[in-house]
Amino acid sequence: MVKSGCATIQNVPAPQVEPGTILVHVSYSCVSLGTEISGVRSSGEAIWQKALKHPEEVKRVMNMVSEQGVQRIQRMVKTKLTSATAIGYSATGIVLEVGEGISDIAPGDRVACAGAECAHHAEVIRVPRNLVARVPTQVEFSAASTVTLGAIALQGIRRCKPELGESIVVFGLGVLGQLTVQLLNANGCRVIATDLDSARVELARKMGADVAFVASESDPSTFCKKVTDGYGADGVIVTAASRSDDILSQAFQACRKKGRVVLVGDVGLKINRADIYKKELDFFVSTSYGPGRYDPTYEEGGIDYPLAYVRWTENRNMEEYLRLLSMKRVNVEPLISQISPLDAAESTYEELKSGAINHLMVLLEYPQRPLEDILESTVGTVLTNTLKKERIGIAIIGAGSFSKGVHLPNIESSQSRYQLQAIVGRTGHHTKAVADQFGAAYATTDINKVLTDPDVDAVLIATRHRQHGSLVLEALTSNKHVVVEKPLTLKESELDAIKAFYDNNPDGPILLTGFNRRFSPYMKKVKEIVSNRNDSMMINYRMNAGYIPLDNWVHGEEGGGRNLGEACHIYDLFTYLVDEKVVKIEVLAVRPQTKSYLMNDNFMVMLSFSDGSLANLTYSALGSHSYPKEQMEIYVDGKVIELDDYKTLEIFSSKKPTKMKAKYVDKGHKQEMVEFADALLTGGSWPIPLWQQVQATRIALEVEKQIQS
């Protein structure tokens, strides 16, 4: 873990296996001397230093301050800057458990893993199937732990498309450069290698470079022409790391006419047109391990690219690198400068950060402790509050940004009502960090731990939408009160099961779906007015929702789309204000003329209620972010009530218009948790009657059916 400029070892809950993933007991992991050490150093920078590097983030934060207030945003920024972060992206070990849907890997298999999101420096890691490759029996675990670096080097070569006998130059002879030299040699190329470090140049000669030279002693362009009969190199692969633009310029100059340059490393990208124009050079950028990288459908969803159409994916690159290791075509042993035991990791990182020794590659070796110890899914913290019987013991399931930015601060500010008992999350390091920050009694990756904990009275479910319905049912049957972020569920069958639970258990635990808008001070005022109406009313609600890219999880199976995941708020609001049963639902959706939008991105819904009232929602992703997100008009009893983005409420009648106005948006999140606690502590009525929660959810499900049909 990295925090405040230092690497630290922490005891965190072990991850749980999930569908499509593999649980691995790590033997070795490989330290990225560039990316990781840079991250360690930057984590210790002052806020103003970070701001200078990322001015676009400063602008975004200032916009959020204007909407949500200084105090809340200050807390969010502080949380992000002071949280510990897991590091590492290349590891190897033994499979402990495989998730549902995986049949080609079994417990006990030797595997290598990649991915900065999952292959951390940890005793146990959970990795998606497409980021795992089987390790041949001839390959030592120490060598296999370099699989990510090998895949990166291979992908750079594939982008270059070298042919047998071509002259290829490698600029930069760190570990990626040394691996590239060997792989090009195995490919039958004539390899020319260069670096500023004479020791690395000499090592490249031993690793298979046909020609190698120190860049400061010879002009790369002149030297490359000299050793290629005056033509220049067929291609150059840049594996160096430097802010200088000169490296790329030298790479272009070293090429022959119609040659190509591939960028694998991280260098300055200011290109001089004269360097490439006359020669008509090709310039390529190599993206990490290969096709599939940064594609959530491939990496998280486990959907492979057909081999006939994408011959070399990131997983197939990993497999091929391991095969080359097994055949001795690639040798990493001379590249390993140091193998440190895990308990010496902190001092190792301090040494690397200081730059006192010019290491090429460092590995971490893990102790082989008993499995029951390393698989512990629950880790305690130091309680900041003493548990009192008159307070509600609450557990948070889902420790994402919304929990950290909204729910946890609200619970923390209500310490007279709540005792934060546990944080449940998918990743141990993140879950433990959130538990420490907000003073929970413990952190766990096992939901059953909180469902069987007698000190947990209630759970707050804030996972991705697909899990909501099943988790609600689990919690209710465990006799826990429940707050679940909207939507209540994405499935009609789960909604029926929840309804059936209460039919059979009318005095069961309280359930509150996070339809927070009804708890805002503005809606409380509106409800006060319309509750005493003499006739039906009309409501127009406009939601300028803004565009979300189609590859965002909100649109997929995890999110259910924008109608089920967000518009449900407004169906609840209509139900709350009218307080009657819906008798008719009519839907019109925009038929997109391009592939930029989905059917449930832009639609209109008309609801008819049993008392004759009408409510209309216009939901659109077509608008501008500069326009208010939510506006409402109500026509009732000679009055017009107008809400502007939960900042302003105006009531127009025969009398002088009245106005409510606040400096910041208040959508009722805090009041929602206050009323939930009060219902539990006093035995009062539910914050939202069950029938209203069910109706809002059924409306959303029916709207989705009509949109899709």
Q: What is the mean pLDDT of residues 86-114?
A: 96
Q: May I ask the CATH architecture of the domain 378-513?
A: 3-Layer(aba) Sandwich (3.40)
What pLDDT is stored for residue 383 in this prediction? 57
User: Across the chain, what does the average pLDDT equal?
Assistant: 91
Tell me the C-alpha distance between 120 and 366, whole Å. 12
* Whether residue 121 has pLDDT greater than 70: yes
- For residue range 126-182, list pLDDT tens digits in order: 999 999 999 999 999 999 999 999 999 999 999 999 999 999 999 999 999 999 999
Q: Are 361 and 175 in contact (CB under 8 A)?
A: yes
Name the token pair of 547. Answer: 């565009």
Q: What is the mean pLDDT of residues 452-465?
A: 97
CATH 3.90.180.10 domain range(s) in the chain: 2-146+297-365
Name the token pair of 541. Answer: 């609600």
Q: Are 175 and 194 in contact (CB under 8 A)?
A: no
Which class in CATH covers the domain with range 2-146+297-365? alpha beta
CATH 3.30.360.10 domain range(s) in the chain: 517-708
Residue 83 — pLDDT band, cuts 50, 70, 90? low
What pLDDT is stored for residue 237 in this prediction? 98
* Whether residue 192 has pLDDT greater than 70: yes
Tell me the C-alpha distance between 71 and 308, whole Å. 55
- For residue range 628-679, list pLDDT tens digits in order: 999 999 999 999 999 999 999 999 998 888 999 988 889 999 999 999 999 9
Q: What is the DSSP string of 561-588?
A: -HIIIIIHHHHHHHHHHH-S-EEEEEEE
- For the purposes of burial, counting CB atoms within 10 Å of the CB of 50, is it exposed (0-12), middle (13-18) or buried (19 or more)? middle
* Whether residue 36 has pLDDT greater than 90: no
* Whether residue 77 has pLDDT greater than 60: no
CATH topology of domain 517-708: Dihydrodipicolinate Reductase; domain 2 (3.30.360)
What pLDDT is stored for residue 253 in this prediction? 96
Positive or negative, the CA dihedral 554, 557, 558, 564 is positive
* Whether residue 122 has pLDDT greater than 70: yes
Helix axes 70-82, 55-68, angle to 10 degrees: 140
* Whether residue 80 has pLDDT greater than 70: no
Residue 23 is inside which H or E element, if any? strand 21-31
How big is the CA angle at 155 (ends 150 and 159), to the nearest 5 degrees?
A: 150
* Whether residue 48 has pLDDT greater than 60: no
CATH 3.40.50.720 domain range(s) in the chain: 149-286, 378-513
Gyration radius from the chain CA atoms: 30
Q: What is the mean pLDDT of residues 515-531?
A: 96
* Whether residue 84 has pLDDT greater than 80: no
What pLDDT is stored for residue 523 in this prediction? 96
Q: What is the dihedral of CA 471, 474, 476, 479, to 10 degrees?
A: -130
What pLDDT is stored for residue 353 in this prediction? 80
What pLDDT is stored for residue 663 in this prediction? 80
What CATH number labels 149-286? 3.40.50.720
* Whether residue 700 has pLDDT greater than 90: yes
Tell me the C-alpha distance between 386 and 297, whole Å. 45
List, in sequence order, every residue forming a beta bridge with 377; answer none if it has no partner: none
Q: Are 622 and 615 in contact (CB under 8 A)?
A: no
- In the chain, DSSP finds a helix count (H) and a strand count (E) of 26, 30
What pLDDT is stored for residue 356 in this prediction? 66
* Whether residue 349 has pLDDT greater than 90: no
Share of the chain above pLDDT 90, in %: 80
Q: What is the mean pLDDT of residues 355-360?
A: 76
Please, which residues have CB within 8 angstroms of residue 209's CB and are 6 or more apart in sequence? 170, 181, 185, 191, 192, 193
More confident residue, 43 or 294: 294
What number of other Cβ atoms are within 10 A of residue 153's Cβ?
30
Where is average pLDDT lowest: 356-360, 553-557, 615-619, 704-708? Answer: 356-360
Tell me the C-alpha distance between 160 and 167, whole Å. 12
Q: What is the DSSP string of 583-648?
A: EEEEEEE---SSTTS-GGGSEEEEEEETTS-EEEEEEESSS-TTS-SEEEEEEETTEEEEEETTTE
Q: What is the mean pLDDT of residues 512-521?
A: 97
Residue 503 — pLDDT band, cuts 50, 70, 90? very high
* Of 607, 472, 633, nearest in space to 542 by CA: 633
Q: What is the DSSP string of 287-321?
A: -TTSTTTT-HHHHTT--PPPTTT-S--HHHHHHHH
What pLDDT is stored for residue 351 in this prediction? 84
What pLDDT is stored for residue 42 in this prediction? 61
Residue 341 is inside which H or E element, if any? strand 338-341
